[in-house]
Amino acid sequence: MRPGGFLPSVSVCIPVYNGEAFLAETIRSILEQTLGDFELVVLDNNSSDATWQIATSFRDRRIRVEHNRETLPQGDNWNRAVHLCRAPLVKLVCADDLLHPRCLELQVPPMRDDPSLAVVAARRHMIDEQSRVLVPRRGLGGGLVGLHSGSEVARRVIRNGANPIGEPGNVLFRREQFVTAGGWRGDRRFIMDLDLWMRLLQYGDFLGLPETLAAFRISRGSVSAEFEQQISDEQQLLLDELGGSGAFDVRPLDVRIGRLALPFGRARRKALFKVSRIAARKDDRVLAEQQEAAAGDGR
């Protein structure tokens, strides 16, 4: 709680493990929000690099830096990060992703003013290690912009074959509903975000904003093609659960289309990582040429 006893409108949390490469840029993108009524909770998952030093180097009263005494599994760490938050609205941002300056300004008021909303999402850019946009304005395809019921979103998610809502950085949710829904599920490692969004949508509606308000970074350390089978298996499991749970009005036709769409979702992911690897190799070549030129000048 802040001085004077007032809670912020929204909590932003960053669960981070060995995130020294991009953490400072991520924190700056949050501190530059046009809506200033927020807290930022950085949870260092017992990192062995300079994560703690970077997180504690910022002198801003809105930041609270916490530390795990032992390294937790990703799902447990993400759950602890949310439970450390104090505001009724929460956004989790991965330690290498970015927020647009107006992200909170545009996402918080709808959630604050309409208690029937469970999830507010926006589009996001896909960026590389140098923060260059690889794919602009990605997400919320298939008619997900605007106000939708949980059943409408479930049908569109199934038919998409991937994650049309997006990663945590472009989504805002309610802390109370997060707790009721059971939080992040560590056994859904590759679809933890989408799995949670669908469970939250059992408690309210979905609002998709047309603006691009976040950036998801694809780097050499990102989940890559070597895990594609696990990703596809978890997507298939979620599809079957949504189709058979009874929580949403999903038709058999939606499930059949979803099964046909899974390979296309897999192909889209592969294409994104391929573009990222090409950009990284180009950067490596440029750096090597610069180092070679510098060495030549020194002879």
Q: What is the pLDDT of residue 219?
A: 80
The encoded tokens of residue 295 equal 């060495």
Element (H, E) at 124: strand 117-127
Could you check whether 7-96 and 97-299 share the same CATH topology? yes
Q: What angle do CA 194, 30, 188 make, to 5 degrees?
A: 20
Q: What is the pLDDT of residue 221?
A: 62
Q: Which CATH number is 7-96's, of 3.40.50.620, 3.60.15.10, 3.40.190.10, 3.90.550.10?
A: 3.90.550.10
> Is the separation of the CB atoms in 72 and 48 below 8 Å?
no
Q: Distance (Å, rounded) from C-alpha 136 to C-alpha 295?
A: 38
Instruction: Give, for all 299 residues of the chain, the pLDDT tens digit.
Output: 444 456 899 999 999 999 999 999 999 999 999 999 999 999 999 999 999 999 999 999 999 999 999 999 999 999 999 999 999 999 999 999 999 999 999 999 999 999 999 999 999 999 999 999 999 999 998 899 999 999 999 999 999 989 999 999 999 999 999 999 999 999 999 999 999 999 999 999 999 999 999 999 998 766 555 687 888 899 999 999 999 889 999 999 999 999 999 988 888 777 777 776 776 677 667 666 566 666 667 66
Q: What is the pLDDT of residue 245?
A: 85
Model confidence pLDDT, tens digit, residues 244-260: 889 999 999 999 999 99
Distances (CA, A) of 129 to 35, 58, 93, 137, 205: 27, 22, 17, 18, 35
- Least Cα distance to 37 among 104, 92, 82, 86 occurs for 104
Q: What is the pLDDT of residue 228?
A: 78
What would be the CATH architecture of the domain defined by 97-299? Alpha-Beta Complex (3.90)
Domain boundaries, the chain: 7-96, 97-299
